[in-house]
Structure 1
Amino acid sequence: MPKPLALDDVDHELLGLLQRDSGRTLRELGDLVSLSPSAVQRRIDRYRRHGLIARQVTLLDPARVPAVLLAVCLVTLERESGRRHQEFRERLLAASEVQQAYDVSGEWDYVVMVACSGMAHHTEVAKRLFDEAPNVRRYTTLFVLDPVRTSGALPTRVE
């Protein structure tokens, strides 16, 4: 694991701004953190070089996407070798419907967020990911009724 990138107060502020809206211009960002556009660009380039910025994406408002069906799936695997867990992870990584997946502690082994184009699509995805997986002991699905908050922003300061 590479050494974490040392961040100053401006870095923390800039990273927070980028996580809320990376579509701002360099000038707008610079005005907000009191840097020139070129200084902002150098910092962003440094974040990318060190892998702090993994990628830039556009987040759609799930309430405005027609017929989108969001679901939280809680999964328990059979207590087998780490190889079986790796196979399950690879299955999740290969599925475009999987928006997020977490290996968690407690009663469940994984929390998997999926986005589907309707109930029939969700049924197909659940069959492919969970029913046909040789090491899934059980799973349950919670359908999202109202996506109250869909942020992916992470804190950058340890307090």
Structure 2
Amino acid sequence: MDSLDDVDLRLLALLQQDASRTNQDLAAAAHVSPATCLRRVKRLVDEGFIERRVALLSPDRLGGSLTAVVEVTLDRQGAEHLQAFQQRAVADDGVQQCYRVSAGPDFVLIVVVRDMAAYHALVERLFTQDANVRNVKSFFAVERAKFSTAISF
């Protein structure tokens, strides 16, 4: 963060709120010229501060979804076993987020699927067919009180 100044931080905060702003609108909101804004945002992308720009979809408008927080404990925790499970989890479309954690389970997954049938299919793909998965504990969301992708700095 040493290479970020107040203008960079303002731009990052504004882009986290709405990345679809035009360069003109973003520059005005950040109180910089459009040329400065364009140059700064390009540098933030080039240096990896901005990984990507995406659209956040509304699960309710798309017919709903089932969200689960899933703890996964493996039987064998050697580096190759952890890596093998992680690669499979990351490749699955139903896994929205994958974290290797300590202490406790080996992984925590955030799973978002259409319904319980889709969740059962994911369970079969990722957990049941993997002889190295020792324990799975799933917590199903009944209400989404907060959802944010913003990083505070």
For Structure 1 versus Structure 2, the TM-score category normalised by the shorter chain is: over 0.9
1:121 aligns with 2:118: yes
TM normalised by structure 1 equals: 0.89
Q: Distance in 1 between matches of 2:2 and 2:37?
A: 16
Matched with 1:135 is 132
Is 1:102 matched up with 2:122? Answer: no
Q: 1:93 is matched by which residue type in structure 2?
A: V
How many residues of Structure 1 are paired with residues of Structure 2 in the alignment? 153
Match of 1:154 in 2: 151
Q: 1:7-29: per-residue Cα shift (whole Å, max 9, x none)? A: 00111111011112101111121
Aligned residue for 1:76, secondary structure, equals strand
Q: Give the counterpart of 2:88 among 91, 102, 124.
A: 91
Map 1:3-82 to 2 at 5 A: 6-82=3-79
Cα distance in 2 for partners of 1:5, 1:124 equals 46
Residue identity in the other structure for 1:54:
E
Amino acid corresponding to residue 110 of structure 1 in structure 2: F
Partner Cα distance (2:40, 2:130) in 1: 44
SS of the residue corresponding to residue 104 of structure 2 reads coil
Q: Deviations over 1:58-97 (max 9, x none)?
A: 1112333213111111111123310000001100111011
Q: Unpaired runs of 5+ in structure 1?
A: none
Displacement of 1:5 in angstroms is 6.6
Contact 1:62–1:147 (CA under 8 A) maintained in structure 2 = no
Over aligned residue pairs, what C-alpha RMSD do you find? 1.5
Is there any run of 5+ residues in structure 2 with no aligned partner, and where? none
Match of 1:111 in 2: 108
Larger RCO (CA within 8 A; separation ≥ 6): 1
Aligned residues: percent identity? 38
Secondary structure of residue in 2 paired with 1:64:
coil
